[in-house]
Chains A and B, each alone.
Chain A
Amino acid sequence: MVDKKPIILLCLVAIIVVAPLILYNGMGEEEGYFGGADSQAGPVIEETGYQPWFSSIWEPPSGEIESLLFALQAAIGAIIIGYVFGYYKGQDKERKRIEEEQE
């Protein structure tokens, strides 16, 4: 039997993420939509007359390189989760098999 709970959970997440895209369909960065909250704070701070006194040692030279590094970050995380969960799943299966043989 397939456990339905995680599927329902993932569907709910998908709805939460897709809803804004439908809500603001056709709007883009030019209209001020879907910018990052982190970078929105910058101009608000600069309005107060504050000048940043230090800038990043290294910045990704383009959006492409930045997305490469973001994808890398997600990939590192995902492969670790997949590896451990796969290992546990196999362990569980083996344990059940041994228990069945003993019966």
Chain B
Amino acid sequence: MHIMEGFLPWQWCLFWYMVALPVVAYGVIQIKKITDEHPESKPILAVSGAFMFVLSSLKLPSVTGSCSHPTGTGLSAVLFGPAATSVLAAIVLVFQALLIAHGGITTLGANIFSMGIVGPFAAWLVFKGVKKIGWGPSIGIFCAAVAGDWLTYVTTATQLSLAFPIPTFGAAFVKFMVIFAYTQVPLAIAEGLLTVAVFDYIMKLRPDILVKLKVISPKVEETPKAVA
């Protein structure tokens, strides 16, 4: 999903920066608020960010015969909301832009928009939706992570077709969808499975924090007492 350095006309770079920056700024406020209210959620925030670090560094082969990487944003989006996730995604993307020449400073706004805003927002909505239907949190987090991962790549394809609608937006969109979105389907499923494994572990050991973050509903008999 990284749009390479210099591969967007400067008007678009500016546009995506202007869209992304307010969300990241709001995310910083959100993180401050959540960690002030529930300081015990800080380690989980660190785990969510770390999970993105790991997953976005893994370039996995896909059945289409090319390689791509998961985003890992689903976990954080479900636990802390999409705005907070955009901050974590921005950190990952800056690291990759400066040190690994993946993505870039000019395209940072566009990449934050796809990986840090659209993907997490979709994941967050899907989790809420699945919860409303009444399915379990594991299924919810799986669907959320898959949707977040896949829609990130659909967004990248859309961004590139908007910037390069040659010959038409539709034709360009099909071209970029073939590159990004097909490859991503199995990887999105893999990301979903990994996210469930991590989420289940958190749910097993510290369900109390998930209850406080309003991710799962409280079950009195399962809430462990804090260690004195």
Contacts and interface: CB of A to CB of B under 8 A. Distances in A.
Contact of B66 (A19, A34, A76, A94): A34
Given A9-B197, A54-B104, A19 B63 contact: yes
B193 A78 contact: no
A11 B105 CA distance: 37
Interface of B: 1-7, 9-10, 43-44, 46-47, 49-68, 95-102, 104-106, 153, 160, 164, 166, 175-176, 179-180, 183-184, 186-187, 189-190, 193-194, 196-198, 200-202, 204-206, 224-225, 227-228
A80 to B, nearest CB: 4
Given A34-B66, A53-B6, A66-B100, 16 more contacts: A37-B68, A41-B176, A48-B166, A54-B106, A69-B100, A73-B57, A74-B57, A76-B50, A77-B49, A77-B54, A78-B50, A78-B54, A80-B47, A80-B53, A81-B51, A94-B227
Interface in A40-96: 40-42, 44-45, 48, 50, 52-60, 66, 69-71, 73-74, 76-81, 84-85, 87-89, 91-92, 94-95
B59 A36 contact: yes
B221 to A, nearest CB: 14
B7 A9 contact: no
Contact of B179 (A27, A34, A37, A95): A37
Contact of A77 (B44, B53, B67, B99): B53
Contacts of A95: 224-225, 227
A13 interface: yes
